[in-house]
Structure formats: C-alpha cells, structure tokens
Copies of this chain bind each other. A is one copy, B any other.
Amino acid sequence: MVAHKLDPIDRQILAELQADGRMTNVELASRVGISAPPCLRRVRGLEEQGYIRGYHADINARELGFEVQVFAMVRLNSQAEADLAAFEARCRAWPLVRECHMLNGEIDFILKCVSPDLSTFQSFLTEELLRADHVANVKTSLVIRCAKDEPGLPFDVLEARLARNA
C-alpha cells in the first residue's frame, strides 16, 4: 500500500472532482468543508504531485458517430522487451486504439478500439493491426452493449480500507 501523504480532505477533493470535474472551486470548498483559497491550493498540489492527471469531458461516442467499439486480444510471437515496446509504440500511434494494456497469461495485449463503422475497423484490423511486427494472433469481440462505464476509482473502497488499517 502506498504511503499516503493525503489527508481525508484531499481524498474527498479527488472524489468530488472525479464525480464532477468542472465543479467550481467555491462549490468544491464548501463540499469538503474548507474555504476557497486553501481548497484551490490543495487542488493545485494534487495536480502537481500527479494525483490528478487531467480533466476530460466524457463524450457520448455513439451520438458522435463512433458506433463500433471492439476489444482486441493480441498475442505476439516474441515477448522480448524490444518487441513488446515496439508494439506499444504502434498502438499509441493508432487513433482507433484508445487503450492498450499488457496482460499476463496467454494474451499479451488487450486493446480497446473505437470506430465510426465496421468497415473502418475491418480495414484497420487487416491492414494495420494484423500486419504489425510480431503479431501472431488477434481475437476481436464487438461490444454489443455497455452495462457500466464508470470513469475513475471507487473511493468508498479506499476509505473502507484506510479505516481498516487505521
């Protein structure tokens, strides 16, 4: 467990900004029970220390025209670090790939991809992904529907754990 330099107010700030990243500092301060100036200083500190990576609008992909989401399970025929890193670099350059995680077990990587339509994804799959160096095998699964997609972390779990360790 990470040595926490965060007090309960900091954690509450993180939880509130995770739930509503555009909340005004005044509103935030009143919710966490301190005045605006120290609240703003804490937020700046959390940003600088890297607890807060950034703030993003959560945009409705389907409404915007990204009708297809796909998970791609990728196996490489080499697990040499240079080859793994090269594949990751390719993923970072592909706009349709939004996430790329290296996994343990049979599968080397899982990619979350978006696409305006199926044919665009098929082109990407056959012309880019399957042709990338050391790609041995790709299994793709279309997302039929999304039951849950909660950005962020369960702060209640964190608090429960900290209480237990106290």
Residues of A within 8 A of B (CB): 1-2, 4, 6, 14, 17-22, 49-67, 69, 71, 88, 91-92, 95-105, 107, 109-110, 114, 116-117, 120, 139, 141-154, 156-158, 161
Q: Which residues of B contact A100 (CB under 8 A)?
A: 146-149
The answer to whether B71 and A110 have CB atoms under 8 Å apart is: yes
The answer to whether B65 and A161 have CB atoms under 8 Å apart is: yes
Q: Which residues of B contact A57 (CB under 8 A)?
A: 14, 17-18, 21, 52, 54-55, 152
- Identical chains bound together, number: 2
The answer to whether B56 and A152 have CB atoms under 8 Å apart is: yes
Give Cα A60 to B114, complex, Å. Answer: 23
Q: Which residues of B contact A104 (CB under 8 A)?
A: 141-142, 144
The answer to whether B141 and A103 have CB atoms under 8 Å apart is: yes
The answer to whether A58 and B52 have CB atoms under 8 Å apart is: yes
Task: Label chain A's interface by main secondary structure.
Answer: mixed
Q: Which residues of B contact A54 (CB under 8 A)?
A: 20-21, 57-58
Most buried by B among A19, A49, A59, A161: A59
Name the distance in Å between A53's Cβ and chain B's nearest Cβ. 4
